């Protein structure tokens, strides 16, 4: 079956969307100079976050893990990947407008055969951008909204029904309509304005990535995933994103208040249950049922506002292997840090790892309080 352009653009765009050509007057900073400058600013900001060796035993930088496990060969390659997949911070309204115009039209052109419009392109671009400009809670809420819309879509699942041509295209459009439903009623001009607003909120952005294991040598020799559980090996990865928000726009990053915790946890739990039902439907009646996921939201006593969202469960295809995704958020004044931790560690070790990272982030972001 031909892959749907509507669904494929989300996977392809991170490599190209943030380097769309923008015309500049002779006295203005060129696009290449702008991208080079923001990358250097990201590196300087990352230097304020702890190095892996400062986090304790077993922590390593991406380029320090055993060679067969490395996501990148060296630090230079890691930053090159960061620059390709992350929108530059400190973007002017003019640059943001030019990217919106150029890339949205490219998406529309690529998806024209399936009825994909410029408005759809703007929605795609906006959804991608929000992954880099808003809070952990808002991203979780966005994801929950998309999952619930998918669960109720006419297509009724994660994959289109068997068939070719019109039937598959109709299913893809139904899925896309469910994902884009939150933007219903907004025309292209309103979506452009939203994109520009999102793109200009963050003045500096950086990222660090860390990996953790209780036995790197043994982990490097694992041939099958089930050996991780059998040999009691642990593995974890942490992605730490730090942002400096425009001082006049800090209020746009909504905090999580204690009174809202229970309702938030309920909404996210319902969304993950819907995801489980969709995955079971896509897997077919003969597939082994996946264990239910547990969702927990808790406020933490760091900075001006901090919380942790935990999603924990059993890997359905590897007996005895616990998997988890922990997301921590911390804001201190105009500085904010999001930490995403995944791995096979025990609950106690997972919590300790995330708390340690939050504590380090609290110290760093406190430097930016006004």
Q: Which of 25, 125, 26, 44 has its CA nearest to residue 90?
A: 44
**DSSP secondary structure string, 120-177?**
HHHHHHHHHHHHHHS-HHHHHHHHHHHHHHHHTSTT-SSSPPS--THHHHHHHHHHHH
pLDDT at 320 over 80: no
Question: If you average pLDDT over every residue of the chain, what do you get?
Answer: 83
Max mean pLDDT among 2-6, 191-195, 290-294 falls in 191-195
19/36 Cα distance (integer angstroms): 11
pLDDT interval class at 150 (50, 70, 90): confident
Q: What is residue 201's DSSP assignment?
A: T
pLDDT: is 298 or 165 the higher one? 298
Q: How is the beta sheet containing 202-213 ordered, strand by strand?
A: 59-60, 202-213, 235-245, 335-343, 322-332, 305-314, 294-299
Choose from 76-80, 162-166, 220-224, 349-353 the range with maximum mean pLDDT.
76-80
Residue 277 has pLDDT above 90, yes or no: no
pLDDT-based confidence at 194, cuts 50/70/90? very high
- Contact between 252 and 359 under an 8 Å Cβ cutoff? The reply is no
Q: Quick check: 89 pLDDT over 80?
A: yes
Which two structure tokens, joined as six digits, stand for 281?
């439907």
Specify the pLDDT at position 137.
94
As a whole number of angstroms, the distance between CA 334 and CA 171 comes to 43
Integer Cα distance of 324 and 326 in angstroms: 6
Tokens of 228: 């991780």
Query: Looking at the predicted structure, is the pLDDT value of residue 21 above 80?
Result: no
Contacts of 353 (CB under 8 A, 6+ apart): 212, 236, 238, 341, 343, 345
pLDDT tens string 34-47 = 999 999 999 999 99
The β-bridge relationship of strands 335-343 and 235-245 is antiparallel
Q: What is the mean predicted confidence (pLDDT) over 174-190? A: 83
Distance CA 78, CA 71 (A): 8
Contacts of 200 (CB under 8 A, 6+ apart): 91, 92, 93, 96, 246
pLDDT for 14: 40
Residue 16 pLDDT > 70? no
- pLDDT tier at 1, thresholds 50, 70, 90: very low
Q: Is the per-residue pLDDT at 179 higher than 90?
A: no
The pLDDT assigned to 321 comes to 56
Domain boundaries, the chain: 5-20+29-368
What does the pLDDT read at residue 2? 33
pLDDT, residue 275, reads 73
Which residues on neighbouring strands pair with residue 204, listed in sequence order? 244
Answer whether residue 309 shows pLDDT above 70: yes
* Most confidently modeled range among 52-66, 130-144, 151-165: 52-66
Report the relative pairing of strands 59-60 and 202-213 from DSSP bridges: antiparallel
Quick one: average pLDDT of 325-329? 94
Return the H-helix or E-strand segment holding 314.
Answer: strand 305-314
- Decide if pLDDT at 190 tops 90: yes
Residues 6+ apart with CB under 8 A from 53: 59
**β-pair partners for 310:** 296, 326
91: pLDDT strictly greater than 50: yes
What's the pLDDT band for 171 if we cut at 50, 70, 90?
low
* Cα dihedral sign, 200-357-295-258: negative
Confidence (pLDDT) at 6 = 34
Average pLDDT over residues 272-299: 76
* DSSP per-residue string spanning 45-70: HHTTSPPGGGS-TTEE-GGGS-GGG-
* Averaged pLDDT, 332-339: 97
The proportion of the chain whose per-residue pLDDT surpasses 70, expressed as a percent, equals: 81
- 158 burial type by CB count under 10 A (0-12 exposed, 13-18 middle, 19+ buried): middle
CB 305 within 8 A of CB 256: yes
pLDDT-based confidence at residue 145 (cuts at 50, 70, 90): confident
Is a pLDDT exceeding 50 seen at residue 257? yes
Give pLDDT, residue 13.
Answer: 39
Query: What pLDDT was estimated at residue 113?
Result: 74
> Rounded to the nearest 10 degrees, how much is the dihedral formed by the CA atoms of 170, 144, 252, 358?
-140
**Alpha carbon 70 to chain centroid distance?**
20
């Amino acid at each position: 079956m031909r892959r749907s352009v509507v669904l494929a653009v989300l996977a392809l765009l991170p490599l190209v969307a943030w380097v769309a050509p923008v015309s500049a007057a002779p006295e203005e900073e060129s696009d290449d100079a702008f991208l080079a400058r923001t990358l250097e600013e990201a590196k300087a900001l990352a230097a304020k976050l702890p190095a892996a060796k400062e986090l304790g035993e077993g922590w390593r930088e991406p380029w320090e893990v055993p060679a067969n496990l490395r996501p990148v060969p060296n630090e230079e390659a890691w930053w090159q990947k960061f620059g390709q997949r992350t929108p530059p911070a400190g973007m002017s309204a003019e640059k943001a407008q030019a990217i919106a115009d150029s890339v949205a039209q490219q998406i529309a052109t690529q998806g024209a055969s399936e009825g994909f419009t410029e408005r759809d392109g703007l929605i795609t671009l906006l959804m991608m951008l929000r992954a880099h400009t808003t809070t952990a809670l808002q991203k979780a809420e966005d994801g929950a909204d998309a999952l619930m819309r998918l669960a109720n879509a006419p297509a009724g699942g994660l994959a289109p029904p068997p068939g070719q041509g019109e039937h598959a295209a109709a299913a893809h459009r139904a899925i896309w309509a469910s994902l884009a439903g939150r933007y219903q009623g907004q025309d292209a001009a309103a979506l452009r304005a939203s994109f520009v607003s999102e793109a200009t909120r963050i003045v500096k952005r950086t990222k660090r990535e860390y990996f953790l294991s209780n036995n790197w040598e043994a982990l490097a020799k694992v041939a099958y995933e089930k050996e991780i559980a059998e040999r009691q090996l642990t593995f974890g990865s942490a992605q730490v994103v730090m942002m400096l928000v425009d001082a006049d726009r800090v209020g746009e990053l909504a905090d999580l208040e204690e009174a809202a915790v229970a309702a938030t946890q309920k909404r996210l739990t319902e969304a993950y249950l819907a995801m489980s039902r969709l995955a079971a439907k896509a897997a077919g009646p003969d597939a082994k049922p996946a264990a239910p996921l547990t969702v927990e939201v808790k406020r933490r006593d760091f900075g001006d506002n901090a919380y942790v969202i935990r999603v924990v469960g059993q890997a359905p295809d590897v007996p005895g292997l616990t998997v988890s995704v922990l997301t921590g958020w911390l804001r201190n004044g105009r500085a904010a840090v999001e930490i995403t931790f995944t791995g096979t560690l025990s609950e106690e070790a997972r919590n300790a790892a995330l708390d340690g990272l939050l504590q380090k982030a609290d110290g760093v972001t406190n430097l930016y309080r006004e």
